[in-house]
Chains A and B, each alone.
Chain A
Amino acid sequence: MLKGRGGGFLFQLIALLLAFGFVSLILLSVNASPVDAYKNMFTGSFGSMRKFAEVLVAFVPLLLVTAGLLVTFSSGLWNIGVEGQVVLGAIATTWVFRYFLESSLHPAVIITLAILGGMIGGAIWASFTGLLKVFGGVNEIFGGLGLNFVSTALTIYLIFGPWKRPGVASMSGTVPFPAEFSLSQLAELRISPWALGIALVGIVIVYFILQGTYFGLRLKAVGKNFRAAYLLGIPTWQYSMYSFLICGALAGAAGAMQVAAVYHRLIPSISSGYGYLGLMVAMLINYKAVFAIPVALFFAALNIGSIQLPILMKLDSSLSGVLQGVLVLFVLLAEGARQKFSKKA
């Protein structure tokens, strides 16, 4: 068994090298130096404390989304609707903040309520996908994808409709909230230790749910063999719903962080694609919670590191996306190759 795991690591290392090699070829084909590109990406993310703080700002929602997806993947569900669940978390958080704008409650209470509201909003949105799946027979991929579009439309409607800025509505979002509605940040840096803490707590809880509880074991049984799990006496569809709710709550928390700790308002692209990126992280770590932190950090660093590329090298910053996508593909490919080899052995 140990040998199998060691072998798996070797294959993943090969996949990583292949991915970088492949992206290097793309860079060479446009006459850009791969070495410079990687170097710029590295300094762009780890070059200074400020930059590293930016990486952490991206890391927080990505880690929360990944944590949620680990739960749905464990129960055999492809919760692609996680993107919309992030958005609804952000919308619900904004709604709570707006509701308490004139309130005399202590800001800490309001922020707590807003985050909880975001989690509930994400969970409710996820439950739609779950209900469609369980009672309507709609595959969660289709249901989730559809609801993602609805969530985007809803954001735009709110920003240009009921929640528009006084005077003229704008793509820059709703009116920013007063400063006391922000999760406190480190001096001179954009990262809030509170947000970081919440994200870490999220992944740790998920780790323990999946590793050590009856609930987690049952989720896994449902995911690996729905029919046998039912025959073993597990209430299967209820467990599917629970996993949607948990994932939705964590995605909602990610949305809440985007509002309370980063943008301080609702903007059209509030989720920044972290839902989809989280899917890639979850696939890359082969649904194992222990690897979520390093890999999510790595992906966040790629995202932030590539921001400077257009200025420094006239390369588009979507290079990070190319690298991430290629990496996932090669890792999946390597996993397939590994299984084929281990079968022959």
Chain B
Amino acid sequence: MMPHASTSAIRLTDIHKSFGAVLANRGASLEVARGEIHALVGENGAGKSTLMRVLSGMYAPDSGRMEVADAGGVLRDVTGWSTAAAIESGVGMVHQHFMLVPTLTVAENLMLGAELTSEGPLRVLDRARAAEQVEALSTRTGLRVNPARRVAELSVGEAQRVEILKALYRGARTLILDEPTAVLSPPEVDELWEVLRQMRSRGETIVLITHKLDEVMSISDTVTVMRHGRTISRLRTGETTPQQIAREMVGRDVQLASEMRRDAVLAEEAWVAAPASDAPAAAGSLGSTTFPLPALEIKGLVVASAGRSDAVRDVSFSISPGEILGIAGVEGNGQTELVEAIAGLRRVRSGSILLDHLDITGASVRARGDAGLSHIPEDRHSRGLVLDYSIADNLILGQQHHFARGGFVNTLDIDRIASNARRQIAAFDIRPPNATVPARSLSGGNQQKIVIAREMGRDFRVLLAAQPTRGVDVGAIEFIHGQLRAARASGKAILLVSADLSEVLALSDRIAVMYGGRFVVVLPRAGAGEEVLGPYMTGAEHAA
């Protein structure tokens, strides 16, 4: 049989891939047509990234068949190829966590592994020619970047441009992008879409891994949905709805953030009409969102950073009981340092932090916790959990002194720890419901629920919620958002920091945009939308 040109650029059939006991892919398939933008969607842990790493040669599949079109458009069996072979055949991947060496220059990163050398016996790097080629490619694609700069000095958006350039430099005709917008501001996202559309018009193929449905709807031609390592469905974008895709992703109906935003408004109106009984009575006019005495008050906070300039520069704000203040902004603009300073994990250079009018600026982390401060840290692995501890032990971290018997030789009260675990596991639906298993063995969503249960399942006044739904599945997002709303309704003050703008918009009463360590603007939710916030997030606009 003569091989014939196919309309497909990629065909993956029944791919299986496991890591120890974890089955990341169990029968995943993907067919991508040449010259289309194909969205690969699914919850976190659905196996999207694994499948794409198999395709790009980073992992070999345990079983299954991989076919990729050659330059003539004929599908060739490439099962289990290497990264070098994938690059050779024009398949390039832009990883979620950039695969760039920060200490090298842009040009050096581009030619790494495919170095340009001078002629002659001494094969010396040809920097001049590399810089020329980068310039030429930059001009052709519209991805502007200075080849002589070190990657460490670039902004996240620029670094991503370098990643895309790197793939194109190696002659990629098929580009795989893993959650490319996670770190970008709205204008940078628009710019990326423009680049991808241009590539499509040149006949190049793009696979876009994402879990944001608005992105799927606005940019893709075709959607493949994965769930639990399997391919569930393949849909034409024009013939489907976000609701349908979400249903396929989760396996049941879910409430989307865009819908939540609308519902949240309704919920608040209901709450204004009939204030919860434990909401403070000292409230002013709730309807005009003037809130009562602040539960958390920050005055002139300055936090130093490892770099030359301060990470947080003169930030002041207050949050009232029953209010969520959301902080939007591109990551790395001081949000992390702000939250950690309030939580007591980072030294404050100047300014003060008041919790219910009690100055906790210099207080220990434990004293802050006992004063009513809860903290959901942005990175549950480094700050939120001890992965090798059991669920029960993780549920008392930071509060272990409340679970001690006291006395001359202080011992932990095992029975109370166990009953606390039972109660929290039931209340926060942590799965598996076995208090003795190590946190490491849980899914991201359930790990996060441990943190949420520990921080919110106790008496607290103020909650710092940093990236509360990062890397968790849609079902867990729904649950966590519900918990945050319930806490607001019961009069807690919440500071929410999220890289996901739709999350900030869905939950917050007021929204502050942080840029360059400052609050550039604070808006009531009614006055904030992506279009309004975008320019502030890039620093293009400043409040008067």
A and B co-occur in one complex: no
Seen from chain B, the residues whose Cβ lies within 8 Å of a Cβ on chain A are none
